Amino acid sequence: MKNLVELIDVSLSYGKTPAVSGLNMKVEEGSFAAVVGPSGCGKSSLMKLVTGLMPATTGAVVVDQHEISGPVSIVGMAFQNPNLLPWRTTLENVLLPLEVVRPERHQFRAKKQEFVDRAMDLLRIVGLESFASHYPWQLSGGMQQRVSLCRSLIHQPRLLMLDEPFGALDAFTREELWDVLQAIWLERHFTAILVTHDLREALYLADSVHVMSNRPGRVVRTVDTSAFSRPRGEQTFLDPAFNANVMDLRSDIRSQRMPIEIAPAKPAGKA
Ligand SMILES: Nc1ncnc2c1ncn2[C@@H]1O[C@H](COP(=O)(O)OP(=O)(O)OP(=O)(O)O)[C@@H](O)[C@H]1O
C-alpha cells in the first residue's frame, strides 16, 4: 500500500521557537493513524503542516506523492468544537462545504439532490437520519459532533484530519463517538490522522499510534495496533494486550514530559 502522507525530516519554528524538529512519519493510504504526545509537543503544528496551512521550515511534507507548498485540497478537518451554524438545520450544516468550496459550489444547484442524498447517507451512518431538520440547539454535544464529522466528509476527502474531536465530550459520549467514527471509517475507508490526548482513544481507533517527544516534537515510537481485530468494541477494552499498550504509551509520555519544578516551601514566619 502506498503512503498518502509522508513527513521527511521536517522542522517548523514560530519565530525563534522550534515547535517540531527532525519529524519523520508515514501514513499509508486507507489507514488510520493517531498522534499522541505531551502537551505542547507540536501535535497541532503537525496538523497544520500536513494540511499545508503552515509551510515546513526545513524538510518535506509529501501528500499524495507531491511535496506540498500550500493548502491541500484532498483533506477534511474536524475539531474539538463542532462550530455548527445555529441558523442552519443539521442537513444544511452538512451541505455547507459544498456551497462554498470549488468545484462543488458551481454545481450546487444542478446537483443538489445528489448532494442531499450524499449528506443523508452520512447522517444514516452516524445515526442522525431523523434529525436532519433539527437545529444545533436541539442536539446534544455528541450529536453536534456527529454532524461535524459528516460535514468534514461531505466533499469525500481522501484524508481526514481530526484534532481532538471528542476532547470536550463526557466519557460515555466520547466512547460512543469512537464507534461512530470507526463505523464511518470502516464503510468509507479514507485515510485518517487523529491527534488526541486520550491514549485509549488512540489505540482503539488507529492502526498505528505515533508517540511524539517533548518540544521540539518528533516521533519517538510508533505502535502497530493492527493486531486488534475490527470492528473493535467492548472485547477490545478487555484484551490484556490492549491495556498493556495503554500502560506502555502512558510511560512513554510520562518520560517525555518536562519535570515540573516546585519551589521549596518557605519556612513559616519568613517573608
Ligand atoms: N503561533 C505561535 N507562536 C509561537 N509559538 C507557538 C505558536 N504556536 C505554537 N507555538 C509553540 O509551539 C509548540 C507546539 O505547539 P502546538 O500547538 O503544535 O502543540 P500541541 O502539542 O498541539 O499542544 P497541546 O497538546 O497543548 O494542544 C508549543 O510549545 C507552543 O508554545
* 129-187 tens-digit pLDDT: 999 999 999 999 999 999 999 999 999 999 999 999 998 888 989 999 999 999 999 99
Task: Report how far ligand 1's centroid is from the alpha carbon of 215 (Å).
Answer: 9
The residue whose C-alpha atom lies closest to atom 12 belonging to ligand 1 is 19
215, 253, 257: residue to mutate for ligand 1 pocket, most atoms within 8 A of CB: 215
Cis peptide before 231 (omega within 30 of 0): yes
Cis peptide before 18 (omega within 30 of 0): no
Q: Is the pLDDT of residue 3 over 70?
A: yes
The domains of the chain, with CATH numbers, are 3-74+158-256 (3.40.50.300), 84-156 (no CATH)
Extract the C-alpha cell encoding 221.
Answer: 515510537
44, 161, 211: residue to mutate for ligand 1 pocket, most atoms within 8 A of CB: 44
The residue whose C-alpha atom lies closest to atom 30 belonging to ligand 1 is 40
The residue whose C-alpha atom lies closest to atom 7 belonging to ligand 1 is 14
- Residues 188-231 pLDDT 10s: 889 999 999 999 999 999 999 999 999 999 999 999 999 999 99
Task: Report how far ligand 1's centroid is from the alpha carbon of 109 (Å).
Answer: 41
- 20, 58 Cβ separation under 8 angstroms: no
Please give the Cα distance from 80 to 161 (Å, whole number).
Answer: 12
Question: Per-residue pLDDT averaged across 251-255, rounded?
Answer: 90
- Residues 73-103 pLDDT 10s: 889 988 888 999 999 999 999 999 999 877 6
Please give the Cα distance from 271 to 260 (Å, whole number).
Answer: 24
User: What ligand 1 atom has the least distance to the C-alpha of 47?
Assistant: 18
Please give the Cα distance from 112 to 251 (Å, whole number).
Answer: 51
Residue-averaged pLDDT of the chain: 91
User: Which residues form ligand 1's pocket by a CB distance below 6 Å?
Assistant: 14, 17, 19, 37, 39-45, 215
Task: Report how far ligand 1's centroid is from the alpha carbon of 224 (Å).
Answer: 27
The residue whose C-alpha atom lies closest to atom 3 belonging to ligand 1 is 14
The residue whose C-alpha atom lies closest to atom 18 belonging to ligand 1 is 42
The residue whose C-alpha atom lies closest to atom 8 belonging to ligand 1 is 14
Task: Report how far ligand 1's centroid is from the alpha carbon of 103 (Å).
Answer: 33
User: What ligand 1 atom has the least distance to the C-alpha of 197?
Assistant: 25
